[in-house]
Structure 1
Amino acid sequence: MLESYSRCWAEIDTTAIAHNVNEIQKIAGNTKIMGIVKANAYGHGDVTCAKALRECGIDFFGVSSIDEALRLRQAGIQENILILGYTPNEHFHYLHEQNIVQSLVSFEYALQLNAYAKENNVVLRAHCKVDTGMCRTGIIYQDQEKNMDKIIQEYRLSHIQVEGIFSHFPVSDELSNVSKAFTLHQIELFQEVLENLKQEGIEPGIRHIQNSYGILNYGDLGFDYCRPGLLYMGVTSDDSIDIVSNPDFIPILSLYANVSLVKWIQKGQSVSYGRHYIANKPTKVATISIGYADGLPRMVSNQNLEVIVNGVKCPLIGNICMDQCMVDVTNVESVQQGDEVCIIGTQKGQRVTVDEISRKAHSINNETLSCITSRVPRLEKRVK
């Protein structure tokens, strides 16, 4: 841990992960949890989160790429790792060298993997991806086109050990009748694929289909694993979206920066690039050492986004810069260089959420958190 905090930093409350996992398990029932730690665990720190999840009994992790899988292996994570995305041919050797499970993003891709494995006299572990409605990766199995033959062929490839099968929900976060019908039909299609495999004498292996909102809104579907990402981090994609369940999540990430300068400006003076903020009265301005290169979206400039300065909520003013932003601290009685500013989290009884940033950025919390950049240290939460 750093001895001091000279610019901006994120604090991760790893103790809250166990609480959040327990809340997920209450909803998921007997369905086991595959911890999704892709994109540096949505900006929270993949290794830190994976180790905390492992302490909760999580034995399977999901990542997006071979790079992310290798990062976990190098950090001592020996549990099962599933690459949800594509691995280039030149990196196929890592799959068997590091005992990593590869998703079969297409039938043609499965043939490439099998040819490599046969040539090198190895067997690669894999999960079959079935496209029941996302139309992103996987073998299409939808009403318009049911490629059951290709799914069966993947299971029968000589040098691919297909250990599981999965699909993905695109609208499990929506509770309209149309979206619920679409999701329920995806489940029906997935179950149809499983039944067809069994009729062919093929054991499907590990079955998983539920993403975070698939867990929140559909509970225990009777499959083997579910795939929460943001949930164990204590947040959902959008606080305004209604959900069926009522979990008690604790956000694990807080974001802070320091005051670098405090000054008074007079009526008529402007702040930051573009002069979009012009003071209409004498105003005390604090410059804060965080900007869009740290992950605070420039899009939220001049939208009355509030941060907490010494326990007082204060609005950002003017355009957010690459490394800095400015805050109206006129109502803060005492503020000086070095004071701690809370961007996300709680301070002296006041709270600001990542969702407030996401709404003003016309985005979702997944993106906002994932965009906190690598130059922002992730530190274990301190006792305040």
Structure 2
Amino acid sequence: MQSILPSTCKFMAVVKANAYGHGDVQIAKELNRAGIFSFAVATLAEGVTLRKHGIKGDILILGYTHPKDIPSLKRYRLIQTVVDYSYAAMLEDIGEKIRVHVKVDTGMHRLGESYSHIDNLKAIFGCKHLLIEGIYTHLSAADSLRSSDVAYTRQQIGRFYDAINQISHSGYAIPRIHIQSSYGVLNYPELDCDYVRVGIALYGAYSHPQDQTKVSVDLLPVMAVKARVSAVKEIPAGDAVSYGRDYVASRPMKIAVVAIGYADGLPRNALDSQGQVLIHGHRAPIVGKICMDQLMIDVTDIPGVAQGDTVTIWGQDGTEQITAEQVAANSNTITNELVSRIGSRLERVYIRHKQAK
């Protein structure tokens, strides 16, 4: 990702939501070892967790922090996003120096002071107690190459720079700028910014398996999800499997019960015509409804399946591979949601790639 960016642009690793389910502390430590010292999180608690575990560098809170918790910003050396003008005024009234980045709403209509409220933006920059170290926006359709979405993204970018120019013409120094998230980098790498906020691509995945981008990069998935076979049983034709009796065996079958379910983050609706897992290097279809703690698979034609065997929910087994993007698409969601919902009771085992330095 860094190789397609201007040399002056720094990498801001987005490690919110437990680093998209990968484990925020472990991921951030590895990034520190790789020379990354700028991070983005969603909440104060996420930032505090990183600091308590020795993560070095700048940590930007992208979301709202309640006024009662503002003292923790200084205590843990965190940077707060100014979510709008009224929030800036509240921070200013505290009367203490607070490190911030200013968010500009250019059309996402989530957080940020509107690009059209120039007087409010100037007033934010005029706050004496706010140490403004950055200004940024978020692109709502950067993942799409449809002409209408590209036009809207260009409009957002134009709105952002127009607001910056007006702030600058009023005599205020413009701090470090960041616009792009993962797809902003992949589709608009030419933007001259000081940071890029890389999220899902950092973990070697796209949001959708069919996504096309202007720039092609070799993304390697960081996460594989595996579980154990807890039981193997034979059932006669005509018997039903799992809740609701929706799946009925059309022939005598061998069923393996796998110790993972929707409480672990696997979507309950992951079962459709392509709902599969890998075992012994073969694809095995999921049968019956996914339960809270278990799911069942058809291993009738896969020899030697036994209790304790490893099942790959997504990842690689032999020459076969199921990607997180495919599982997400089968579940009518995006990879970002799928991986960030991985439950805490799944043990995370970290293995450094042999080519990693």
**Structure 1 equivalent of residue 175 of structure 2:** 205
Q: Does 1:55 find its partner at 2:33?
A: yes
Q: Report deviation, 1:284.
A: 0.6
Q: Report deviation, 1:266.
A: 0.7
Contact 1:311-1:347 within 8 A present in 2 as well: yes
3-state SS of paired residue (1:133): coil
**Structure 1 equivalent of residue 113 of structure 2:** 139
After TM superposition, the structure 1 = structure 2 runs for residues 335-346 of structure 1, keeping only pairs within 5 Å, are: 335-346=305-316
Contact 1:277-1:302 within 8 A present in 2 as well: no
Q: Report deviation, 1:56.
A: 2.1
Amino acid at match of 1:61: F
Q: Report deviation, 1:383.
A: 8.8
3-state SS of paired residue (2:224): strand
**Structure 1 equivalent of residue 51 of structure 2:** 73
The Cα offsets for residues 277-329 of structure 1, whole Å up to 9 and x where unpaired, read as: 10111111000000000011101134441111111110000000000000000
- Percent of aligned positions that are identical: 40
After TM superposition, the structure 1 = structure 2 runs for residues 117-136 of structure 1, keeping only pairs within 5 Å, are: 118=95, 122-136=96-110
The Cα offsets for residues 38-60 of structure 1, whole Å up to 9 and x where unpaired, read as: 00011111111111112222121
Aligned residues: 353
3-state SS of paired residue (2:262): coil
Q: Report deviation, 1:29.
A: 2.6
Q: Which has the higher contact order (CA 8 A, sep 6+)?
A: 1
Alignment RMSD, CA only? 1.3
Q: Distance in 2 between matches of 1:220 and 1:74?
A: 36
Q: Report deviation, 1:262.
A: 0.7
3-state SS of paired residue (2:205): coil
**Structure 2 equivalent of residue 19 of structure 1:** none
**Structure 2 equivalent of residue 101 of structure 1:** 79
**Structure 2 equivalent of residue 26 of structure 1:** 3
Q: Distance in 2 between matches of 1:198 and 1:382?
A: 45
Aligned partner (choices 141, 154, 160) of residue 124 of structure 2:
154
Q: Report deviation, 1:189.
A: 1.4
Aligned partner (choices 350, 367, 381) of residue 320 of structure 2:
350
Instruction: Extract unaligned runs of 5+ from structure 1.
Output: 1-23
Amino acid at match of 2:242: S
With structure 2 as the length reference, what TM-score do the two structures score?
Answer: 0.96
The Cα offsets for residues 125-145 of structure 1, whole Å up to 9 and x where unpaired, read as: 00111001101111111xxxx
Contact 2:209-2:326 within 8 A present in 1 as well: no
**Structure 1 equivalent of residue 88 of structure 2:** 110
Q: Distance in 2 between matches of 1:34 and 1:210?
A: 10
Instruction: Extract unaligned runs of 5+ from structure 2.
Output: none
With structure 1 as the length reference, what TM-score do the two structures score?
Answer: 0.90
Amino acid at match of 2:127: L
Q: Find runs of 4+ consecutive structure 1 residues off by over 3 angstroms.
A: none
Q: Distance in 2 between matches of 1:56 and 1:132?
A: 33
3-state SS of paired residue (1:313): strand
